[in-house]
């Protein structure tokens, strides 16, 4: 790991056309509107919209080398393709620094599978972020299972937005039951999954010996962690699942410390991890980039 570089496995970079004309696109897609609406009174989560170049500048300032661009769970097929086209162009322009995950809504049926096929040829590395709640399906839905089948055939990892099963409701909260996931994971041991937002707490249930050995191809990311959990959750997750299966991901450009920082930024979360998560040098390199690159099959680190 001599040439270690930090990779953020979970950022969202929308086409500028979309966020510059937010009202117009919000009308086309209600889930997008609900999750990205500027909160009234400054309360609630907020996106700090940036384009590819601005994101890379922010990354440079924070010592982040690479960005894993997650797509979005659009309910409008035209917007799904527009977003994928934007990411495909970015991957072409910055092939060393960007990896792309395909935006897909499994409920589009064949259209979703065709979009995956189209995007594989454009150089994408994975599928996601899938948002079951936002697109109205659960983890037993045949359309969702068809996307997983397609991912397995292409050897692509799938990133899924997971919500914690307890507590208050908020716009980004996905209340889709995680209950079917352990059996699904057991059934498809070759399926590569990234369960976002600490998998909604699933690392704890991996301590159950019934499931422990089945989760070898599952990774967890810590996207939006400062908005959800105490920073000690990172150490706790490592204790439960090991340091080789946790991925640094931020949800950039979501404002993670809204009372302290009002612009797109990687630095604060990284410094929080560096100072307060208690990672050894080896764990740091695994979590902050090594695990993500290894999972995508990129042996460069």
Compute how many other C-beta atoms are within 10 angstroms of the C-beta atom of residue 78: 10
Question: Would you count residue 99 as binding Zn ion (CB under 5 A)?
Answer: no
Question: Would you count residue 147 as binding Zn ion (CB under 5 A)?
Answer: no
Please state, in angstroms and as integers, the Cα–Cα distance from residue 257 to each residue in 161, 209, 249, 276, following that order: 20, 37, 15, 15
> Please, which residue, 161 or 192, has the CB nearer to Zn ion?
161
> Please, which residue, 97 or 161, has the CB nearer to Zn ion?
161
Question: Would you count residue 219 as binding Zn ion (CB under 5 A)?
Answer: no
Number of residues that bind Zn ion (CB under 5 A): 2
Q: How far is the CB of 71 from Zn ion (least distance, A)?
A: 11
Compute how many other C-beta atoms are within 10 angstroms of the C-beta atom of residue 287: 24
Buried b (16+ CB within 10 A) or exposed e, 147-181: bbebbeebebbbbbbbbbeeeeeeebbbebebeeb
Among the listed residues 12, 83, 99, 161, the single contact to Zn ion using CB under 5 A: 161
Candidates 109-117, 118-126, 155-163, 236-244: pick the segment binding Zn ion (CB under 5 A). 155-163
What is the C-alpha to C-alpha distance for residues 34 and 102, in angstroms, rounded to an integer? 21
> Please, which residue, 68 or 301, has the CB nearer to Zn ion?
68
Residues between 186 and 215 with contacts to Zn ion, criterion CB under 5 A? 196
Question: Would you count residue 12 as binding Zn ion (CB under 5 A)?
Answer: no
Candidates 36-44, 105-113, 158-166, 231-239: pick the segment binding Zn ion (CB under 5 A). 158-166
Q: How far is the CB of 196 from Zn ion (least distance, A)?
A: 5
Q: How far is the CB of 227 from Zn ion (least distance, A)?
A: 11
Q: How far is the CB of 22 from Zn ion (least distance, A)?
A: 19
Q: Is 249 helix (H, G, I), strand (E, B) or coil?
A: coil
Half-sphere exposure of 149 (CA within 13 A, CB side): 12
Q: Are 247 and 194 in contact (CB under 8 A)?
A: yes
Q: Is 125 helix (H, G, I), strand (E, B) or coil?
A: coil
Q: How far is the CB of 180 from Zn ion (least distance, A)?
A: 19
Residue nearest to Zn ion (CB): 161
Q: How far is the CB of 225 from Zn ion (least distance, A)?
A: 11
Q: What share of the chain is helix, strand, coil (3-state, %, to 5)?
A: 50, 10, 40
Report which DSSP code applies to 287: I
Kindly list the residues in this chain that would bind Zn ion in the complex (CB under 5 A).
161, 196
């Amino acid at each position: 790991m001599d040439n270690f570089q930090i990779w953020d496995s979970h950022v969202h970079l929308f086409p500028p056309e979309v966020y510059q004309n937010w009202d117009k696109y919000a009308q086309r897609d209600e889930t997008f509107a609900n999750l990205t609406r500027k909160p009234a009174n400054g309360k609630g989560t907020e996106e700090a919209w940036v384009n590819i170049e601005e994101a890379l500048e922010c990354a440079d300032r924070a010592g982040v080398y690479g960005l894993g661009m997650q797509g979005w769970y659009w309910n409008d097929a035209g917007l799904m393709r527009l977003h994928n086209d934007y990411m495909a162009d970015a991957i072409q322009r910055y092939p060393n620094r960007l990896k792309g995950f395909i935006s897909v809504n499994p409920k589009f049926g064949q259209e979703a599978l065709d979009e995956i096929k189209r995007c594989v040829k454009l150089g994408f590395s994975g599928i996601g972020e899938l948002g079951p709640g936002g697109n109205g399906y659960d983890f037993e839905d045949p359309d969702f299972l068809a996307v997983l089948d397609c991912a397995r055939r292409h050897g692509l990892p799938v990133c899924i937005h997971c919500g914690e099963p307890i507590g208050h409701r908020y716009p980004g909260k996905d209340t889709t039951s995680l209950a079917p996931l352990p059996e699904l994971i057991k059934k498809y041991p070759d399926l590569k999954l990234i369960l976002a937002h600490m998998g909604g707490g699933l690392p704890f249930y991996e301590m159950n010996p019934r499931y422990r050995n089945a989760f070898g191809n599952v990774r967890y990311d810590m996207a939006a962690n400062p908005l959800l959990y105490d920073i000690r959750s990172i150490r706790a997750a490592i204790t439960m699942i090991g340091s080789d299966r946790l991925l640094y991901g931020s949800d950039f450009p979501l404002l993670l410390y809204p009372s302290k920082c009002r612009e797109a930024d990687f630095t604060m979360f990284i410094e929080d991890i560096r100072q307060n998560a208690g990672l050894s040098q080896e764990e740091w390199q695994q979590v902050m980039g090594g695990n993500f690159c290894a999972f995508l099959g990129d042996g460069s680190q």
